[in-house]
Amino acid sequence: MQQTNNFIVLNIREYFENDDGRLGEDKLLQLLSEFSCPLNPDVGHFLKRQSIEFAKKHQAVTYLVLSLEDAELLGYFSITIKPLVVKAEPFSNTVKRKLARFSEMDKEGQTYNLAAYLIAQLGKNYSDRAKGRITGKELLEAAIRQIQALQYQAGGMVAFVEAENNAKLLSFYENYGFKQFDTRQTASKGSEPHKLVQLLKIV
């Protein structure tokens, strides 16, 4: 469990793998129902409809960011481990040396093959009681701190995100030290394929 002066970060497994009567899956569902993100409905859909199932199946773990003042849900992030292929070209020699320590180098394709921590979801709560109480930077920093805690236990050095090709969003990640290394095409059910920009950070 991660704590700062303003908020606490709680693994959702604490709710359904805990004998504490104050928790439980019903309490968790009630808490998640208070989340609102009109700017990106997919973020809310994942939290309310998929996060518990993903955690139970060990596909990804969601962490809730709660206010220390009143336990209001301020935001959340989800982390999983994914195989990653990284092109060597965009990076400095220093970063390449770091990547080489824990990856397999494909010399012909000039790519590194490794396992990395994916910040799969990152979302602020825009409900009336939570709006404006945490910044995107604070939420991202909480996710990075959680990855560093996992890194201490299991190793690894790379965190990455996949973001919409939006200049403001990409600038947000780049200002925090993430660097673009590739793109990939994706498609959601009922929507056209679209491009996601992949960015990574050495942690």
> For residue 154, what is the domain's CATH number?
3.40.630.30
Confidence (pLDDT) at 188? 60
Cβ proximity of 196 and 184 under 8 Å: yes
pLDDT digits (tens, 9 = 90+) for 68-125: 999 999 999 999 999 999 988 888 899 888 988 889 989 888 899 999 999 999 999 9
Confidence (pLDDT) at 21? 62
Confidence (pLDDT) at 129? 93
Two structure tokens written together for 73: 């849900």
Residues of the chain with pLDDT under 70: 1, 3, 20-22, 187-191
Confidence (pLDDT) at 67? 96
The alpha helices in the chain, defined as continuous H runs, are 13-16, 25-32, 41-45, 51-56, 93-101, 136-154, 167-175
Angle at CA of residue 113, ends 111 and 116, nearest 5°: 125
State CA 175 to chain mean position distance.
Answer: 17
State CA 200 to chain mean position distance.
Answer: 12
Range of the domain at 92: 2-202
What is the total count of domains within the chain? 1
Confidence (pLDDT) at 191? 64
Cβ proximity of 115 and 83 under 8 Å: yes
Cα separation, 127 vs 169, in Å, equals 21
Confidence (pLDDT) at 166? 92
